[in-house]
Amino acid sequence: MIYDDIQRLISYAIKNELITSEDVYVIRNQFMEVFQLTDWQESVADCHDADIDTLLCPLVDYACSHNIISDTTASRELFDTKLMGILTPMPREVTAEFRQCYAKSPETATNWYYDFSKKLNYVRQGRIARDLKWTYESEYGTLDITINRSKPEKDPKDIAAAKSVQTAAYPRCQLCPENAGFAGNLNHPARQNLRPIPLIISGEPWQIQYSPYGYYNEHCIVFNENHTAM
């Protein structure tokens, strides 16, 4: 039942400290709005040790079968990010936690942030695990070779639909600060579950985040207001 599937996701969020028990009614009501539910049936369903992809899949399937979204790759990805956005703490909360960890050590802070990004499914660990990686000892040294299987191919239906979507100048780029919380569209990925961390480097404002698909080998992407990344 949809109620059990929603409850499992709420259970996951509590266990992973994305929300607290005090947040449950608000979170539940937001999910009810998304799934167009006018009533609630009590559920004691638990997530147990299910991974986030397993928890999200039946919810996205329900949305497709009840015509809440179209059954295309882009629509499904936009929707599952929307669901995780409901569970994502506000930037001030994330930044405060990062700074508490940073007081212990920068490594503690970045390790916490990477784990947090995985729990939010911003870093799509389940998909990254599908990538094929190996090394080859060549005459020029050791080569790292990767076959990227994590980012899904574009659905022909989405490609056709994107042609009718007017291109917007907002967000200005995929690494710009205004991506945080952005709902996304057929021409720009959803970022409701993105919470970049602000930093001051050499007196200038920068922000860090991890790559959703591991393009940077689990290193942070650092970028500033002028869209410069390093």
Residue in the structure block whose two tokens are 């710009």 = 176
Alpha-carbon dihedral angle through residues 225, 102, 13, 93, given to the nearest 10 degrees: -60
C-alpha 195/C-alpha 212 separation (Å) is: 12
Confidence band for 102, pLDDT divided at 50, 70 and 90: very high
pLDDT at residue 117 is higher than 60: yes
User: Tens of pLDDT along 202-223?
Assistant: 898 999 999 887 765 445 666 6
Lowest mean pLDDT among 36-50, 146-160, 190-204: 146-160
Average pLDDT of the segment spanning 105-118: 96
Q: What is the mean pLDDT of the chain?
A: 89
DSSP state letter for 82: H
DSSP state letter for 135: E
pLDDT at residue 228 is higher than 60: no
The whole model's pTM is what?
A: 0.85
User: Tens of pLDDT along 12-23?
Assistant: 999 999 999 999
Name the residue ranges covered by the structural domains of the chain.
Answer: 2-68, 116-224
Amino acid 196: pLDDT: 95
Confidence band for 62, pLDDT divided at 50, 70 and 90: very high
- Amino acid identity of residue 31, one-letter, is F
Amino acid 217: pLDDT: 47
Q: Helices 106-119 and 91-104, interaxial angle, to 10°?
A: 140
Alpha-carbon separation of residue 223 from 87, 113, 173 (angstroms): 25, 16, 11
